[in-house]
Amino acid sequence: MLLQVRNLRCGYGSLEVVRGISLHVRAGEVVGLLGANGAGKTTLLKAIVGLLPPWRGEIRMAGRPIQRQPAWRSVSHSMVLVPEGRMIFADLTVRENLQVGGYHNPDRALHLDLVLDRFPRLRERLHQLGGTLSGGEQQMLALGRALMARPRLLLLDEPSMGLAPLLVKEVFAEIRRMTESGLTVLVVEQNAVATLHIADRAYVMETGEIILEGQAGDLLHNPEVKRAYLGKGHSAPNA
């Protein structure tokens, strides 16, 4: 078990957003975490990497408890978050963005080449400022920047956000391809269909709790998924 979350509770102020969530990710898997806006998916990711202190519960990475660690330590636990909205360093060049990503990687010069081989578009844009890239290119840069740290577990927050449907397909295909080199991925998404097409397993979250889990293929045909994806009170007509 690479990542194990047990009974996690956290939130902002007195508002509990994640209400006792348990999930796990095995090495080499792509796991989807689906749910509508406000279900608590991003909050959960923040708690996993340490950007938000958990109130209760346990987070283990490769068996080691990490729930009291600050966010900057998450990289030394071989996990990297690709934040929502990509959060490219707009005033740094593509190259510098990647170098910052490899901040803790002593072989970052060598690794830069490997990442650029994977994303040839970034090589063309190497000296351009991050903020001048298109949405799709920025997402590629965010992925490349995360890979620079040589993580075992990649945590993706809404990688499809703000991308045209064609680009979503391209980005998701790239995410699937990354697992071929041994990477494990936990992807948080509103776009359930795209996620289920590349994931092995998935969890469905609603108002801070997990209401469904299963193999991606099964969930894809589950009428509950549609309902949960659209949120409470928006049941699909044939559900």
Using alpha carbons only, how large is the chain's radius of gyration in Å?
17
Give the number of residues in contact with another protein, rule: CB under 8 A. 34
- Between 1 and 90, name the residue whose CB sits nearer to another protein: 90
Shortest CB 227 distance to another protein, Å: 33
* Candidates 10-18, 21-29, 70-78, 206-214; binding stretch for another protein (CB under 8 A): 70-78
- Between 155 and 194, name the residue whose CB sits nearer to another protein: 155
- Between 122 and 228, name the residue whose CB sits nearer to another protein: 122
**Residues between 150 and 209 with contacts to another protein, criterion CB under 8 A:** none
User: Residues 1, 27, 90, 236: which binds another protein (CB under 8 A)?
Assistant: 90
Site residues (vs another protein, CB under 8 A): 49, 51, 70-76, 80-83, 87-94, 96, 99-101, 103-104, 126-129, 132, 145, 149
